[in-house]
Amino acid sequence: MLKFMMFIVFLLPLCFINMGYWMVQNLLFVITFIFIFSNFCSNMFVNMSYFLGEDMLSYGLILLSLWICSLMLMASESTYKYNNYVNLFLLNVVMLLLLLYLTFSSMNLFLFYFFFESSLIPTLFLILGWGYQPERLQAGIYLLFYTLLVSLPMLIGIFYLYKNSMTMNFYMLSNQLFNYELLYYVMILAFLVKMPMFLVHLWLPKAHVEAPVSGSMILAGIMLKLGGYGLLRVMSFLQNFGIKYNFIWVSISLVGGFLVSLICLRQTDLKSLIAYSSVAHMGIVLAGLMTMTYWGLCGSYTLMIAHGLCSSGLFCLANISYERLGSRSLLINKGLLNFMPSMTLWWFLLSSANMAAPPTLNLLGEITLLNSIVSWSWVSMLMLSMISFFSAAYTLYLYAYSQHGKLFSGVYSFSMGSIREYLLLFLHWFPLNLLIMKSDMCLLWL
């Protein structure tokens, strides 16, 4: 695992080469493919070094991080074109990738916490440095304070764990069970905010709306998965209390998913709508994960991977429209079918993935999660049916409003997508539909 880390570390000086933008991006693709071929499908920790190792859980998420970071550079061509501090931008993205890689491959709980929090800093710089609106400062502060406020208790919880069990290794900790209620709450809260769970989700839409396209892609693609990954890791030694208290989080997530779906239906900002839809999806992920059944854990992992690709692709589409029309409002982004007909196909494909149409990975994840949540309690069927219905409703609203209707009269130029954009969208959509063929990776990792 150290060899990949060193590869990413040695990419850092390359960020300062003049005209080295596409070289760094190509090298990121190279390391992604090397990483795919380095996989040993084993549920145990493999590829171990002093503090790094991977099992199937971290493998999928590291692969997603590498993939999304490669695509971020492809999507942020406008930064390169207008030479908007392009070297610092590259440095930021590669640093972020390095921290995410270390987060997912750390075997030590404290190091996981350390990198988990450090990945916040490059994200903050992305929003503050390359964001669009003047409110980005407020968005950055929201992001920082929501996540830091609940992370400090978790640090104390980690030290308590170390004092009691004398180890921080995930593998060793998973054999222990702790009998201390406060520990359960402090360990879980940090991840719930990161997910984000309904009621503590306000920082997410704010951050998304202010972030540049790369910031949105990394937020939707990887940052939300950090919470789920952390929960999957710590739930193993908090089972006693999980059985007692998890119903709280499941209920909040299911009701919240339904309410957020209703909020989605009255958004006029493209990015805001996609951001709220992420909250709804992560609500189902959280509910499934908290049932602590085999199906629930595997389904939440599957949907996390699927949502990372699908949501990131939708943000790219919103950005492509924004670059043409200079606005993200649905009042101006309408009738795009006349304006960019071939882009409508991608809107359709990624929207259908967002509402979990076959043969996407989202479908597999949602079916698995529905199964687990209903087997946990059949009362949840009411909210689940609502979430499923409204998820289709707001996705259709997004698609129909942006593609159909009369073209906005202020739009004069006629501009098709460039090859770079089509490739970018293809690379989001293709793995999303291909991975259903290899679904044993998602469902048999436990």
Domain count, the chain: 1
DSSP code string of 373-433: HHHH-GGGHHHHHHHHHHHHHHHHHHHHHHHSSPPPTT-----PPPHHHHHHHHHHHHHHH
Tokens of 45: 């920790």
Which pLDDT does position 41 carry in this prediction?
67
**What CA–CA distance (Å, rounded) separates 422 from 75?**
11
In contact, 204 and 219? CB cutoff 8 Å: yes
**Length of the chain measured in residues:** 446
CA nearest to 123, candidates 149, 151, 142: 142
Three-state secondary structure call for residue 253: helix
Residue type, 267: Q
Give the residues across from 269 on adjacent strands. 329
**What CA–CA distance (Å, rounded) separates 365 from 204?**
22
In contact, 251 and 194? CB cutoff 8 Å: no
Which pLDDT does position 351 carry in this prediction?
97
**What CA–CA distance (Å, rounded) separates 181 from 386?**
33
Q: Between 361-376 and 381-403, two packed helices, what is the crossing angle to 10 degrees?
A: 150
- Give CA separation, 268 vs 21, 144, 202, 247, 333, in Å: 34, 26, 17, 34, 10
| Residue 407 main-chain phi, psi, to 5 deg | -65, 140
Q: Between 270-290 and 239-264, two packed helices, what is the crossing angle to 10 degrees?
A: 160
Domain encompassing residue 208: 1-443
Which pLDDT does position 38 carry in this prediction?
84
In contact, 94 and 11? CB cutoff 8 Å: yes
Residue type, 392: A
Question: 243-252: b or e for each residue (b if 16 or more CB lie within 10 Å)?
Answer: eeebeebbbb
**What CA–CA distance (Å, rounded) separates 109 from 167?**
9
Query: Between vectors from CA 26 to CA 33 and to CA 66, what angle results, nearest 5°?
Result: 50
pLDDT means per 10 residues, the chain with 446 residues, are 94 92 95 88 81 91 96 93 93 97 96 95 94 89 92 95 93 87 94 94 94 95 95 93 94 97 95 96 96 96 97 96 90 90 95 94 96 96 96 96 88 80 96 92 86
| Residue 234 main-chain phi, psi, to 5 deg | -85, -20
CA nearest to 142, candidates 161, 159, 120: 120
Give 254's Cβ-side CA count (13 Å radius). Answer: 25
- Give CA separation, 367 vs 35, 181, 296, 370, in Å: 29, 32, 10, 5
CA nearest to 58, candidates 124, 116, 114, 102: 102
